[in-house]
């Protein structure tokens, strides 16, 4: 069976910073109130003329540069997003064109905040069967475009950005190591995914699909095209449970403990969820790689952004286990175990 290596990582955040103090000017809120409840101090916001595929393109080029590959080497492009440039064509199609990746097959995956892990799962299947050799998995979101900016409970959480990884298949672990013997690259040991469609209504964007066709003044006035968080307290309890179970599943599948991992890199949903997850897993919060304070919740993009940051900072070293774990609307959850 082929081995799958992460041979490049990349991320991109828009330059504009929206701080809690900025939100104080438009909402009945405060920096202290937001930070205590979410762990967010600031988030990045894309300029009006910047689309999801633009953010994805920047992250992709950085990942390709690390992998010493060009867009023309790509066989497969998977874009995880709930905020594509357009529903048709897909966001991945726009990205393929912008990269000039003419050989690649491209398509989107919609799994909300767990989209990146679902993208890894699909890509690894193609690579393991030998259908493709080089794959780009990107998660990119412009969450600022689907917010009700009068909803102080919800809009304070979200930001914009993109993260990417380049995957490559190898005939054996020796081949993988030989290909990049002078580099520190990761190997995907497993990807595990789950869904629970019966409870998907708890995180919902009601408009934009066939349920509200055609889009009307009424649907816009009712803000049906903005993200709704329903039964927030119940969602938190479920998220903590699924985050933790997914991390444990990834570790136990390879006979290690969660505590053996150098880092847990979770979806950055809310600091309270991550604190409870760490407590449930019986690990220190210092073992959880956090970016939520400076970037907020970027849905599917939070995990690859944090992974790229940790790798480029040197926080991930040779021999380290890293567990990725996510939970999102759908409901979707999953995990991946990596080893450097």
297 a catalytic residue: yes
Which of 20, 93, 113, 155 is labelled catalytic?
Answer: 113
How would you classify residue 68: left for phi > 0, otherwise alpha for psi between -120 and 50, otherwise beta?
left
Tokens of 173: 């672990």
4, 133 contact by CB (below 8 A): no
Q: Do strands 263-266 and 228-229 pair parallel, antiparallel, or not at all (unpaired)?
A: unpaired
Contact 142, 126 (CB under 8 A): no
What is the number of other CB atoms lying within 10 angstroms of the CB of residue 48?
Answer: 8
Q: Where on the phi/psi map is residue 300: left (φ > 0), alpha (ψ -120 to 50), or beta?
A: alpha
- Which phi and psi (to 5°) does residue 160 adopt? -115, 150
Query: Has 254 been annotated as catalytic?
Result: no
Neighbours of 193 (CB within 10 A): 18
Distance CA 5, CA 74 (A): 14
Among 51, 93, 134, 267, the active-site one is 267
Tell me the backbone φ, ψ of residue 155, rounded to 5 degrees. -65, -20
In angstroms, the Cα distances linking 22 to 133, 204, 226, 294 are 46, 26, 21, 14
The token pair at 317 is 């070293």
In the residue annotation, 267 being an active-site residue is answered as: yes
Catalytic residue IDs: 113, 267, 297
């Amino acid at each position: 069976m082929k081995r799958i290596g992460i041979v490049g990582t990349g991320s991109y955040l828009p330059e504009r910073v929206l701080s809690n103090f900025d939100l104080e000017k438009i909402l009945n809120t405060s920096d202290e109130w937001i930070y205590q409840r979410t762990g967010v101090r600031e988030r990045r916001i894309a300029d009006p003329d910047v689309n999801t595929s633009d953010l994805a393109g920047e992250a992709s080029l950085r990942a390709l540069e690390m992998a010493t590959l060009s867009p023309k080497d790509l066989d497969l492009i998977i874009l995880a997003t709930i905020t594509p440039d357009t529903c048709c064509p897909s966001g991945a199609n726009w990205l393929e064109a912008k990269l000039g990746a003419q050989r690649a097959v491209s398509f989107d995956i919609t799994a909300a905040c767990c989209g990146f892990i679902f993208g890894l799962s699909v890509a690894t299947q193609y690579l393991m069967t030998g259908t493709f050799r080089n794959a780009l998995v990107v998660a990119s979101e412009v969450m600022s475009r689907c917010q009700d900016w009068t909803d102080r409970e919800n809009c304070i959480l979200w930001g914009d950005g993109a993260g990417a990884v380049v995957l490559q298949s190898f005939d054996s672990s020796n081949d993988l190591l030989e290909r990049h013997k002078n580099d520190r690259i990761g190997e995907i040991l497993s990807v595990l995914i789950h869904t629970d469609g019966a409870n998907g209504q708890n995180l919902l964007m009601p408009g934009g699909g066939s349920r509200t066709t055609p889009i009307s003044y009424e649907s816009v006035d009712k803000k049906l095209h903005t993200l709704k968080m329903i039964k927030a307290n119940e969602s938190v309890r479920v998220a903590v449970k699924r985050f933790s179970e997914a991390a444990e599943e990834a570790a136990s599948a390879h006979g290690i403990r969660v505590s053996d991992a150098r880092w847990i890199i979770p979806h950055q949903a809310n600091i309270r969820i991550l604190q409870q997850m760490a407590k449930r897993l019986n690990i220190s919060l210092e073992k959880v790689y956090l970016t939520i304070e400076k970037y907020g919740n970027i849905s599917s993009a939070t995990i690859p952004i944090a992974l790229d940051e940790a790798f480029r900072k040197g926080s991930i070293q040779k021999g380290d286990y890293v567990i990725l774990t996510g939970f999102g609307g759908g409901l979707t959850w999953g995990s991946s175990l990596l080893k450097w």
